[in-house]
């Protein structure tokens, strides 16, 4: 039985495709795969970064399902991409002499900041939001019965490209209008949910599902933050 490259369809006779260079080994996206890419693969050169950004903006659905189906050699992995965006945002903030640590208008986050100063760990919170948003998307979108790990991977791409677009907004406005972030980030995230998970034709239900997915994900994140705050407050009372 002939084995064909998942990326370009070339018949394989070795461990790597002679046409595009992709490995014959196909790895399912699991938690171990995500950890391996985040820790080990980021030591390697980022391949296809600009191409990945371009495709995520123009056709995110193609990127997501290409990657899930094994067509990966031309794309930067989601974990690598998300880490790149976080570092890029940090560098832009330093170069412009601005930070995004202004107090949030949300009461629960203000409480968390007062007790735990979690806002200083916003990069880690981005990863947590990606994790919890994967729970939200797995509840709303049951397409192809994707595992939670795969939803996490999909959301890493979505959060990454949304943060990158938000960075461009910050650069254009020179961080003078921080309140824009409150509206732009959810708008970007919801728009990518809609574009990735919609059918052939856009329906009202697709828009409602995108909004509902973001609302559920934010509810989970805020609930976790509230539990952390209450737990920390209880710990202080004991000592």
What's residue 102's pLDDT?
47
144 assigned to some structural domain: yes
80 assigned to some structural domain: yes
Mean pLDDT of 30-35: 80
What's residue 124's pLDDT?
59
CA-CA distance, 12 to 107, in Å (whole number)? 57
91 assigned to some structural domain: yes
CA distances from 205 to 67, 211, 218 (A): 26, 10, 20
Q: Higher pLDDT residue, 50 or 111?
A: 50
The tens digit of pLDDT for each residue in 2-24 reads 778 877 877 877 777 777 767 77
CA distances from 213 to 9, 77, 103, 191, 202 (A): 35, 23, 26, 11, 16
- Count the domains in the chain: 1
111's tokens: 């409480």
Residue of 166, 29, 16, 14 whose CA lies nearest to 89? 166
Whether 137 contacts 217, CB under 8 Å: yes
| Summary mean pLDDT of the chain | 79
9 assigned to some structural domain: no
Range of the structural domain that residue 130 is part of: 31-238
Read off the pLDDT band of 191 (50, 70, 90): very high
pTM to 2 decimal places: 0.75
Of 85-94, 110-119, 142-151, 230-239, least confident by mean pLDDT is 110-119
What's residue 156's pLDDT?
92
Read off the pLDDT band of 159 (50, 70, 90): very high
227 assigned to some structural domain: yes
Read off the pLDDT band of 47 (50, 70, 90): low
Mean pLDDT of 156-182: 83
Mean pLDDT of 208-222: 90
What's residue 123's pLDDT?
58
Q: Higher pLDDT residue, 181 or 214?
A: 214
The tens digit of pLDDT for each residue in 75-109 reads 888 988 988 898 888 888 787 765 444 444 444 44
22 assigned to some structural domain: no
């Amino acid at each position: 039985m002939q084995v064909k490259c998942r990326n370009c369809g070339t018949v394989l006779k070795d461990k790597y495709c002679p046409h595009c260079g992709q490995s014959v080994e196909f790895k399912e996206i699991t938690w171990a795969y995500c950890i391996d890419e985040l820790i080990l693969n980021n030591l390697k050169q980022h391949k296809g970064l600009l191409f990945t950004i371009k495709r995520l903006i123009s056709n995110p659905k193609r990127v997501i399902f290409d990657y899930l189906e094994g067509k990966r050699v031309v794309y930067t992995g989601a974990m690598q991409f998300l880490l790149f965006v976080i570092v890029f945002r940090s560098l832009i903030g330093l170069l412009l002499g601005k930070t995004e640590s202004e107090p949030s208008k949300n009461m629960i986050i203000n409480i968390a900041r007062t007790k735990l100063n979690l806002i200083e760990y916003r990069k880690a919170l981005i990863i947590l939001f990606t994790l919890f948003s994967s729970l939200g998307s797995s509840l709303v979108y049951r397409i192809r019965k994707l595992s939670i790990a795969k939803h996490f991977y999909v959301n890493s791409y979505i959060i990454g490209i949304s943060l990158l677009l938000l960075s461009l907004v910050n650069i254009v406005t020179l961080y003078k209008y921080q309140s824009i972030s409150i509206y732009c980030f959810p708008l970007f995230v919801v728009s990518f949910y809609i574009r990735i998970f919609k059918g052939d034709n856009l329906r009202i239900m697709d828009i409602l599902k995108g909004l509902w997915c973001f609302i559920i994900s934010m509810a989970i994140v805020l609930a976790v933050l509230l539990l952390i705050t209450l737990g920390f407050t209880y710990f202080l009372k004991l000592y």
